[in-house]
């Protein structure tokens, strides 16, 4: 695969490279990232040819946007595509910053937040993001974390709150300040709810469609296809385990790995070894075989990881490999593969 090949994203008309850069690790999710390391990682990404970058206010409570903006401010604005997210509004932490608990981020900046999906909240979130980034335009704006894992039984209330927010987003798109409206998905059950209530251009799917989970193939992706809605895969390594393999330190779904999931990964690893294919290559290339998927955006913590992601997309994978995964029951029988 050519990592820099571009595909149109859903209803946006925007062409994005099939390999992008996920900005969550620069917010210091599982480990601290020194400023110099972040700078070198982003410089390598741009020098290597990556031209799609995704971030969010949530990532390190603004730290990821600051770091990414520091790079992109220096580049020609027409040369790259940028996405960020709305739904959280931030304010400075009032206490001693050394006492700030930024969980789940191990680092990040000392800023408190609250959810607000109303027009007023989304506008404030958007404006704050442009200032953190130092850029006056964000191409793709994503409604962030409106799901049961964050809101529980209040999801319907938040969807109602989003009605005014969606009207504001539509006006923003019509005025060409942004080029596309999406929703970030962690819980697959949220996609039908969004489809029922709102018109979107794409979904940024963080977990539900990977080498380990193809649940959306049954009903959800076909419905998206009918509506021309595109898909970006936000966590192709399933938050870690498909990059690190089945070792004890692995993460799946941003938490510790169950024994059942570890066993499944070990079974995939055996087939990878038989075909001499890195599991990372299979993980990155698998989602891109689906016609709805325009891009995968793995995160990187170093320049070496950036270059490795590029090489993983270039790695040849024979059709026999995918056939064997399906025969072993490790991949959905109808999953598109290349």
Residues 19-77: tens digit of each pLDDT: 999 999 999 988 899 999 999 999 999 999 999 999 999 999 999 999 999 999 999 99
Mean pLDDT value across the chain: 94
| pLDDT for the residue numbered 232 | 98
Which tokens sit at 302?
A: 């170093």
| pLDDT for the residue numbered 248 | 65
- pTM (predicted TM-score): 0.95
Percentage of the chain beyond pLDDT 70 is: 99
Looking at residue 49, the DSSP 8-state letter turns out to be T
pLDDT digits (tens, 9 = 90+) for 211-265: 999 999 989 999 999 999 999 999 899 877 888 887 767 777 767 778 888 889 8
pLDDT digits (tens, 9 = 90+) for 193-212: 999 999 999 999 987 899 99
| pLDDT for the residue numbered 236 | 93
Q: Per mean pLDDT, which range of 24-38, 81-95, 114-128, 241-255 is the poorest?
A: 241-255
| pLDDT for the residue numbered 255 | 73
Q: State the Cα–Cα distance between residues 177 and 147, nearest whole angstrom.
A: 26
CB within 8 Å of 329: residues ≥ 6 apart: none
Active-site residues: which are they?
A: 54, 59, 85
Strand 202-205 to 230-233 pairing: parallel
| Among 30, 92, 26, CA closest to 65 | 26
Domains of the chain: 6-327 (3.20.20.100)
Q: State the Cα–Cα distance between residues 235 and 38, nearest whole angstrom.
A: 19
- Contact (CB, 8 A) for 277 and 317: yes
Question: Is pLDDT of 158 > 90?
Answer: yes
Alpha helices in the chain (DSSP H): 35-48, 63-72, 119-133, 148-151, 155-174, 190-197, 220-227, 241-244, 259-275, 279-288, 303-314, 319-327
| Among 154, 179, 184, CA closest to 169 | 179
| pLDDT for the residue numbered 261 | 84
Which tokens sit at 265?
A: 């990964």
Which tokens sit at 140?
A: 């793709």
Instruction: Tell me how crowded residue 223 is: count the other CB atoms within 10 A of its CB.
Output: 13
- Contact (CB, 8 A) for 77 and 135: yes
| pLDDT for the residue numbered 139 | 98
| pLDDT for the residue numbered 203 | 97
């Amino acid at each position: 695969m050519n990592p820099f090949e571009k595909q149109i994203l859903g209803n946006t008309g925007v062409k994005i490279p099939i390999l992008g850069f996920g900005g969550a690790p620069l917010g210091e999710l599982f480990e601290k990232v020194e400023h110099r390391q972040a700078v070198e990682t982003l410089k390598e990404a741009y020098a290597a040819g990556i031209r799609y970058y995704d971030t969010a206010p949530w990532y390190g409570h603004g730290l990821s946007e600051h770091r990414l903006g520091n790079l992109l401010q220096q580049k020609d604005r027409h040369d790259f595509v940028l996405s960020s997210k709305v739904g959280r509004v931030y304010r400075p932490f009032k206490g001693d910053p050394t006492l700030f608990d930024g969980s789940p981020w191990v680092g990040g900046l000392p800023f408190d937040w609250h959810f607000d999906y109303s027009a007023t909240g989304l506008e404030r979130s958007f404006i704050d993001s442009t200032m953190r980034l130092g850029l006056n335009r964000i191409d793709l704006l994503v409604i962030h974390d409106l799901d049961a894992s964050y809101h529980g039984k209040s999801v319907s209330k938040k969807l109602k709150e989003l009605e005014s927010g969606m009207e504001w987003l539509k006006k923003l798109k019509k005025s060409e300040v942004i080029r596309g409206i999406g929703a970030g998905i962690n819980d697959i059950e949220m996609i039908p709810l969004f489809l029922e209530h709102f018109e979107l251009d794409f979904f940024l799917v963080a977990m539900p469609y990977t080498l380990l989970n193809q649940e959306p193939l049954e009903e959800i992706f076909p419905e998206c296809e009918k509506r021309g809605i595109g898909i970006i895969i936000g966590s192709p390594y399933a938050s870690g385990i498909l990059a690190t393999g089945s070792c004890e330190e692995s993460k799946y779904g941003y938490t510790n790995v169950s024994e059942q999931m570890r066993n499944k990964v070990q079974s995939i690893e055996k087939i990878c070894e038989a075909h001499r294919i890195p599991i990372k290559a299979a993980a990155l290339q698998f989602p891109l075989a689906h016609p709805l998927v325009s891009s995968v955006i793995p995160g990187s913590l170093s320049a070496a990881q950036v270059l490795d992601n590029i090489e993983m997309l270039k790695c040849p994978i024979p059709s026999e490999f995918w056939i064997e995964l399906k025969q072993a029951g490790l991949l959905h029988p109808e999953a598109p593969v290349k």
